[in-house]
Amino acid sequence: MALSRALWARAAVWGSAVTPGLYVTRRLQLGRSGLAGGAPRSAKLHLSPRADMKNLISYVVTKTKVINGKYHRFLGRHFPRFYVLYTIFMKGLQMLWADAKKARRIKTNMWKHNIKFHQLSYREMEHLRQVWARGRYPKVHGIISIPPFANYLVFLLMYLFPRQLLIRHFWTPKQQIDFLDIYHALRKQSHPEILYYLERVIPLISDAGLRWHMTELCTKKALSRAMLLTPYLPPLLLRHRLKTHTTVIHQLDKALAKLGIGQLTAQEVKSACYLRGLNSTHVAEERCRTWLGEWLQISCSLK
């Protein structure tokens, strides 16, 4: 009897000791399985930092587009003239930025592969030439804004004198036609003088004095005006600019002959003709192509 009581007491003690252990172990297993099963639920509630940043950027971009659209509609409705200038200015900035990126890409490729300017394709050469030609405008703006508080005057001057202080990216369509006509009229004024000196050179083609007459032609600065270069430079520097400009055009002619005029767009054809002396703004596209082909025949036959 005493033995049976002792066994029952011992079993009770063991039961009280073992059961909690089994209970705790079971709870731990359930807890682990619950965490494993609950992970997707927590992932749905809390995104990763990268996903949060993407959502934030997308939200900001969407809101910016909406606000920008409302701002454009407000300007177009209440300030139509200013809205036209604002639109041209913003598009000009975008085109200017795209041109700068393309020019940097071309220069980087030239540096990596040791390519010279005359080894580029026609469009790459023409793009760099246009970027270099526009390089004088920031210099002019910088000189004007040197005096104190003169930087505010620059914007007013650009509005009053867009032809002299702005590049074509910021011209209105009407200004592009009018300004090109003005430049061509200035170019034509020097043609009689150029022809006069060329007539003097023709009888002396086989003579050594030809070099002197050609130097005189450059010194008279008529060719500079015909090529829309500033003639207000010392003769030595002026001759260097003329030589560089004509060399670039000759290299462009060779690249264009290799590419083929048929590969050019209508705008590219008109731009190429205008650079070489034809006022292509009022000439039909087919006539421009014919004229450019005749020019290339003469240019590519020269050394």
Q: Taking the C-alpha atoms of 218, 220, 221 and 227 in order, what is their torsion angle to the nearest 10 degrees?
A: -70
214 & 239 share domain: no
Q: State residue 145's pLDDT score.
A: 55
How far, in Å, CA of 97 to CA of 215, rounded? 40
261 & 204 share domain: no
- In the structure encoding, which two tokens stand for residue 155, read together? 């914007």
131 & 205 share domain: no
Number of compact structural domains in the chain: 3
Q: Is residue 31 part of a domain?
A: no
77 & 138 share domain: yes
Q: State residue 151's pLDDT score.
A: 61
Closest Cα to residue 244, out of 117, 100, 105? 117
Q: Is residue 24 part of a domain?
A: no
Position 7: which residue type? L
Question: Exposed/middle/buried for 45, CB within 10 Å: 0-12, 13-18, 19+?
Answer: exposed
103 & 114 share domain: yes
Domain span including residue 221: 182-232
Last residue of some domain: 232, 248, 269? 232
295 & 263 share domain: yes
SS3 of 21, please?
A: helix
244 & 284 share domain: yes
Q: Is residue 262 part of a domain?
A: yes
Q: What is the pLDDT along the chain (303 residues), one digit of tens a residue?
A: 444 544 444 444 444 444 444 444 444 444 444 444 444 444 444 556 777 777 878 888 888 888 878 877 877 777 787 777 778 888 888 888 999 999 999 999 999 999 999 999 999 999 999 988 877 655 555 565 566 655 667 667 777 888 888 888 888 889 989 999 999 998 888 888 887 777 776 666 666 666 676 666 666 677 788 888 888 888 888 888 888 999 999 999 999 999 999 999 999 999 999 999 999 999 999 999 999 999 999 898 877
Q: State residue 47's pLDDT score.
A: 55
Q: State residue 101's pLDDT score.
A: 93
How far, in Å, CA of 291 to CA of 278, rounded? 9
Q: Is residue 203 part of a domain?
A: yes
In terms of residues, how long is the chain? Answer: 303
Question: Exposed/middle/buried for 232, CB within 10 Å: 0-12, 13-18, 19+?
Answer: exposed
> In sequence order, which residues have a C-beta less than 8 Å from that of residue 61 and are 6 or more positions away?
none
Position 43: which residue type? A
The sign one gets for the Cα dihedral 134, 257, 251, 100 is: positive
112 & 80 share domain: yes
- In the structure encoding, which two tokens stand for residue 145, read together? 């804004």
137 & 73 share domain: yes
Q: Is residue 174 part of a domain?
A: no
